[in-house]
Structure formats: structure tokens, C-alpha cells
Structure 1
Amino acid sequence: MTARRDLLVLRTGTHGTPVEEYAEALRERLPDYDVRLARTPAAEREEIRDAGIVTGMTIDEDLLSRAEKMAVFACAYAGTGHLPMDALAERGVTVTNASGVHGPNIGEHVLGSILAFTRRFHVGERRQRRREWRHYQATELQGSTVTVVGMGAIGEAVLERLEPFGVETIGVRYTAEKGGPADEVVGFGEDAIHEALARTDYLVLACPLTDETRGLIGREELVTIDPDAVVVNVARGPVVETDALVSALRSNRIRGAAVDVTDPEPLPEEHPLWGFENVRITPHNAGHTPAYYDRLADIVAGNAERIAENGSTEGLRNQVHP
């Protein structure tokens, strides 16, 4: 592509934060660029016609069909499964994602969930509501085994934050040979995962949703895992078979669960998961951070500068296609 210095921000924001903040963060980082924000559907349809770089949470095929000069779509989410990737490929559009933006905040969310179950804060909360001063037993995180499934930016952030706590860590990734910041790294083979689960005190799911990870944690896995284990899911709801999770909780086959994602999502009001005292539910909130747009703007602005310097979309940070 020619070194066009224009960038269009689509109107959909995330986490309740105005998308204007994202546009402003990009303007601060790209003073030589024409950074435009399309605030209405009509403005999106018009502005995208001559935009070279477009960024936003999503883009549909209708809007894409109007993009006559777009060379890059900078997705503002880490996942790109919701995008019309085939249509983008047909148009020769390079796609990047927001991988790495969520590492610190989701890492902290996971660590908080683990510590809450370790010190059994949910029991303390119940007794506080009842104004009941009565001691209860808690445990220590030190000496536990934590298995982290998925060793991308989020999984690595979790493992880094666990390091000072004196735990043993097992990482699960597609290519175990790549290793990573865990004491032991295994692949996605059924036998390897089951052997890891049999030693696991805290299971953290931080992997993308793929054909291989859909239903990864089902009945057999929840029977295999240590009955004193806690499941923490910050991946996607369908990575865990919901009925199997409910059954395991009812049968006391696991100590508890912290779920930021569910299947179905949103979780229906009448769903049995709401009723368990040993389940902590957050509404897909682990990804929220006030630093979201700043971190995302760092990635997108850096790529825009690289394009302006090289006149090419090759070698962009977080490039997922082509």
C-alpha cells in the first residue's frame, strides 16, 4: 500500500468506555495522521470508503464491501473469530488484533479469584451478611499446583503473577516444545491433560475458543481433577461443558469455580450456576481496565507508523492475517 496517513475509528466501544477516548489516544500518538471517528452508521458507511487503516471492535460484510481503500483492519479485541475473515482475505486486508492488551488486568482477576478461594472469602462474606462472628478454616496457596491452559499473553501474565507465591505451575499449549514460563509445559493431548488435571489444585482456562478447546473440560476431566480443585474460566464459556460443571458442583467433585464467561452468555436468571455458594460469577468483566484504550492505541499507532515508514503492511505487530 502507499503510505497513506489516515485512520478511521468505528463507533462501537467496549466495557462502557466512550470510543472517543480511543480516538483521542490515537491522535495523541499519531499527530501526523488524520484520525477520524465515525459516530453514526451513516458516517461509518461514508468514511470507510477512502480509509486506509480502520480500527474497531468488529466489521460486517456490508460495511467491508464499502471499504474501497482499506489495507489494514486493526481489531480492538484479542479474538478475531467474530470477523468475516474470508471476506477480509479476499480483499487483501491485513488483520491485526489486541493481543496483550488484557494481560495485566486479567492476570490480576485470575490471581484475585484464586486467592479468594484459598482464603475462602466467600465464606467470610456470608458470615458478615449474617453478622455472625464465627471462625472458619482456610488454606494456603503456597505449595499448590496451578495449571494454566493457554500460554498466550494472558496465560503468561497469570504465570508471572503466580511466581512469588511458591506454587508449582503446569502450562498447557498447542506446541509444548515451545516451553514457556511454567515449571512444566504439556500439549493438548488427552492423556497429557488428564495427567496434569490429576495433580491440579487450581485450573485456569485462558485459551482461545477453537474446535480443539470447545468442550475441553467436560465430565471426564471434572472427574479426573482433584476433588479439592477450583476451576477459573477467563477463556470462553464453551471451553467448559456447562452441564458437566453443574453436575461436578452438585456432586462435590470440585471445590468451586470462578467463571467470568459462561455458556450460555449472558447467564439466564434461572440458571442453576447462580445458586451455588461456591461459584463466583462475574459478567465477562475480567477484560475491563481503564488502560484498555491506551494499550490498544500503542499497538495500532505503532503499526501505523511502521506502515508510513515502510509503505507496507508486512511484519505488523499482532498480525493475524495474512
Structure 2
Amino acid sequence: MSDADTPDVLVLRKGTHGTPIEQYADAIRERLPDHTVELARTPAEESEAIRDARFVTGMTLEDDLLAAAETLEVFACAYAGTGHLPLAELEERGVAVTNASGVHGPNIGEHVLGAILSFTRRFHVGARRQRRREWRHYKAHELQGSTVTVVGLGAIGQSVCDRLEPFGVDTIGVRYSPEKGGPTDEVVGFEGDAFDDALARTDYLVLACPLTETTRGLIDREAFVTMDPESVLVNIARGPVVETDALVEALRSNWIRGASLDVTDPEPLPEEHPLWTFENVQITPHNAGHTPRYYDRLADIVAENRRRVDESETDTDLENQVLP
């Protein structure tokens, strides 16, 4: 492929959320009308086009494609997480990698707020009685004055806190570097008594953190015993942040009031798993990230970074850059 035929932006063929990848390519074209944007729609097209492409965007980058990419300079990952990428190889080759951090903020923030309000007003109880055509009052709760702990204060955690602001709640943030502060009334770290003390005071525990060595199994049996029996767990992070067997035990033993799970461990959740049977568990199939504006927000980031590459003759800082 000659330089004249090499696209300014190459879009790989895998989409997400059931939305056609053509919409992503079109969104980038709208933002970069003076650039060529090519969508590689088949494996053969990907292998051919990536050989000379310098700026590539996609959900994944398989080893065989990376091996074929002779001149790759920037890979714009279309997911917020990059753990599935061959990061060591990309770093060794000096490829700049960006991610989609912040794209999910509004919709996941709304998902979390909806889950909290659903358990506060116990809509699941109302829905069950409606199905039975049973007009019978039930007790509900009030969100105002509650304590909400948000584990992880990145773009999603910030979005959650922003949406909680009008509800008159007290907020506790948990992050690796609590000395940096955050958007919550108080901030604690993952280690020591401060985290356990936060759990003991929490009415709604929102997990919005990445899966790391520190957060894997963070919410275990001891955590559930520490939590108040009226507390509710909301997990939009990753399934393994919660020890599943401990969660099942906590629900069976009334150690917590309920759980809203957008992620599970294992995932997908097997049909025979007991979590399906609890009436005080809300399960969504890793759906909090879905938004009709996903590709638009992602295209904003990618187009801006393409412009920065154009304007710089040397190394340049890119939005959402994770490598190098």
C-alpha cells in the first residue's frame, strides 16, 4: 500500500454493545472531514490495511495483527480497560496507546443511581406485588441522609458522585492515594482500619474500581460481616472484586439487604447459579456500559488525538494515554 493509499485512521472490524462498527467509523469521519478514515470490514482487509497504518483504533488488537503492523505509532483502544491488549509488545515497539476512559461516565452513573433508588424505594417488591395483582403496602427507605461509599474515584466514580450530589447523602471515596482527596465528603485508602470503618458506616457500597491485585476479592466474607445488615452492594466494576461465595452467604444470612450486580464471577453467570434465585438481587448482563452515544464520545477522543499527532513533529501527549 502506498503512502497515498494509507488511511489517516484505520478502524478495525470488531464492534461493541451490538452497535454496527460502521457508526463508529462514520462518527470519526464527521469529526475529521479532511482526513481519510478506513474501516477494515474483514480479516483480510485488516491484515492488509494495518501493514502501513500509523494510527489504528479498535476494541482489540490480536497478536497476528500487531505482528503485521509495520509502522504502527498509535493504537486508540475503544474500551476503557486495556488489560486484554498485548501491552508489553506495544510498549517494546514504542506504540502510544490510549483508552476510552470517561466515555461510560454518564450512562454508568445513571445506572448506579437507578440501582440505588430502586433499592431505596424497593421497586422490586412493588413489581413482584404488581405481577400478583396484590394491592398491599410495603415499607420503603429514604436516600437522603444515607452514606454512600464509592470505591474507585476515576471517571466513573466521579460521575456517580456528581449524580448523588442533589440527594443529600454523605459520601466516602476509596482510592489508592487518599491524600489526593476527591469529590466525596471524605476519602480513605484500601488499607487499614479506615476502609473497615467506612464499610461499617455504609448504606450503599458502589464498586467502580479496576480489577487489580489490591481489589481482587476486596469484598470478602469479613467485609460482608462488617457491613450493616441494611446496606446494599452495587457492583459495576468487575465480578472478581467480590468473592461470589461470600456474597451468596451474605444474602442467605441477611448480612446485607441486597445487591445490584452488573458484573459477576463467573461471567456470564451460569443458569443454575443461586444468585439468579434471590428476590433481593438485581442482575443486569454487564449492560451498564451501554449507551447510544458510545461511539460519538469515543470518536471525540480519537479525533482530538489524531489532530494532536498532526500538529506535533515530535512526541506528543495524547488524551487518555496509557502507554508509553
State the TM-score, normalizing by the size of structure 1. 0.98
Once the two structures are superposed, what CA deviation does each residue of 1:54-86 show, in whole Å capped at 9, x if it has no partner? 101111111100001110000000001111100
Number of aligned pairs?
320
Taking the aligned partners of 1:152 and 1:269, their CA distance within structure 2 comes to 33
Q: 1:150 aligns with which of 149, 152, 156?
A: 152
> What SS class does the counterpart of residue 59 from structure 1 fall into?
coil
Letter in structure 1 aligned against 2:164: L
How far off is 1:312 after superposition? 3.8
Contact 2:11/2:56 (<8 A) preserved? yes
Residue aligning to 2:278: 276
1:199 aligns with 2:208: no
Which of 224, 227, 232 is the equivalent residue of 1:225?
A: 227
Partner residue of 2:127?
A: 125
The percent of aligned pairs where both chains have the same amino acid is: 75
Gaps of 5+ in 1: none
Among candidates 10, 14, 32, match of residue 12 of structure 1? 14
Within 2, Cα distance between the matches of 1:92 and 1:315?
Answer: 14
Please give the alpha-carbon distance, in whole angstroms, between the structure 1 residues aligned to 2:25 and 2:315. 21
| Counterpart residue identity of residue 43, structure 2 | P
Distance in 1 (CA, whole Å) between partners of 2:178 and 2:111 is 26
Alignment partners' CA distance in 2, 1:161 and 1:120: 20
The alignment's TM-score, normalised by the length of structure 2, stands at 0.97
1:118 CA drift (Å): 0.1
Deviations 1:132-169 (A, max 9, x none): 00000101000000000000000000000000000000
Match of 2:172 in 1: 170
Output the amino acid matched with 1:45.
Answer: S
Per-residue deviation, 1:5: 6.5
* Aligned residues: CA RMSD: 1.1
Matched residue type, 1:122: H
Runs (4 or more) in structure 1 with deviation over 2 Å come to: 311-314
Q: Return the letter of the residue paired with 1:41.
A: P
Contact 1:169/1:184 (8 A) holds in 2? yes
Alpha-carbon offset, residue 311 of structure 1? 2.9
**CA displacement, residues 158-184 of structure 1 (integer Å, 9 cap, x when unaligned):** 000000000000000111011111000
* Conservation of the 8 A alpha-carbon contact between 1:57 and 1:75: yes
Residues 1:208 and 2:210 are matched in the alignment: yes
Q: Secondary structure at the match of 1:154?
A: helix
Instruction: Could you tell me which runs of 5 or more consecutive residues in structure 2 were left unpaired when the two chains were aligned.
Output: none
Shift of 1:22: 0.2
For 2:141, the equivalent position in structure 1 comes to 139
DSSP 3-state at the match of 2:201 = coil
